[in-house]
Amino acid sequence: MELPALAKFPFLREAAAHIRAEGITLEELLSESAYARARALGKSRVVEALEKGPPTERVAIDTADQLAQLLAYPVARILVSANADHYLIRRFSLHEAMAAELRLEAEPDDFIVHLAAELGLDLRREDGAFRLHLADFLLYTNTLREPPWKLINQRLDAGYVHLRREKALRVLRNAIERHIEEGLPIPVNDTIESAFRADLADIRERLEKKKATFKADDIGKISITRFPPCMYNLLAQIQNHENVPHMGRFAIVSFLHTIGLSNDEIFRVFGDVPDFAADVTKYQIDHITGTTSPTEYTPPECSTMKSYGLCPGPDRLCLRIRHPLSYYRIKGKERRPPGESAATAV
């Protein structure tokens, strides 16, 4: 793959190989003035992922600009990793994947097949469209809940699912997002931290501001700072209009209910989920909270969360507990001012 394509899809293995072949070292990338533009572009990649909506296309015309775009990607990965924040990793992965999907629209079918193969997907051309191996289809569409993605609505042939071009690109977006997310964070040492000290401080400040905008009013009397990473992530995904799998919705609804939110308050948290009609959301909330069912469900324990891929990786407190609710309770005790009673802590 040539530099112009690698600059557009820098998450591919071929892109890393190209940088190695150019003989550019990490030290040079961190400090030499020749790579100042790459460092600036890397930072803006992270800031855009954090603060902007859907990506816009960047077109790199000349070779120097293409190389800067390519090198900006490892810089961005470093900046995301140094922050070690699950929310930022998810935002960055999603933003990069959406940008890649946009760029793929202008690429020929053979390129799309090649990129899919690099990501390990068995995607083939077929009759002006594509076919994708069923296993890959199931793996990368499990967050897509709308009827057009249900298996029953697919044209299946000999273990392959027939996909129109735009659907194939949508599946690829999910595969790219997962590929990027699974590769983060990377180890970041003190040299890197000090080279990017000012940029990291700026990104951290922006990140905190962003988190503070999570609709604090909508979650009323509860304290988001006590949330375990799993519930924090689910809440962030919902408020970022990302698709949350059924088990994730079940977990966050039962969690919010157990820590004291009313059904209306929970609904407001869910109110603008794009792929979910309001009455279905209400029905689910009422069912999970025991309003319209005989069972008032409690959130799943950590082992179940892990088995559904909903545990983003434990932090230090997680290592002492087996249930997300314990995390919330312990955090409440840690933060409770002297003299406050236990009854007010949860």
Interface contacts to ligand SF4, rule CB under 6 A: 228-230, 302, 305, 311-312, 314, 318, 324, 327
Phi-psi region of 119 (alpha: psi -120 to 50; beta: other; left: phi over 0): alpha
Who's near 278: CB < 8 A, 6+ residues apart?
267, 271
Residue number with CB closer to ligand SF4 (191 or 307): 307
- Separation CA 249–CA 35 (nearest Å): 44
Pseudo-torsion of CA 323, 259, 224, 184, nearest 10°? 30
Q: Whole-number minimum distance, CB 270 to ligand SF4, in Å?
A: 20
How far is it, in rounded angstroms, from Cα 12 to Cα 66? Answer: 15
CB of 302 to ligand SF4, least distance (A): 3
| Residue placing its CB nearer to ligand SF4 in the complex, 219 or 302 | 302
Q: Alpha-carbon distance 186 to 344, whole Å?
A: 40
Q: Which is nearer to ligand SF4, 40 or 317 (CB)?
A: 317
Tell me how far, at minimum, the Cβ of 296 lies from ligand SF4, in Å. 21
Say whether 85 sits in a helix, a strand or coil.
coil
Q: Minimal distance in Å, beta carbon 231 to ligand SF4?
A: 7
Whole-angstrom distance, CA of residue 3 vs CA of residue 208: 36
Q: How far is the CB of 329 from ligand SF4 (least distance, A)?
A: 11
Q: Residue 220 or 314: which CB sits closer to ligand SF4? A: 314
Indicate the residue among 40 and 247 with the shorter CB distance to ligand SF4.
Answer: 247
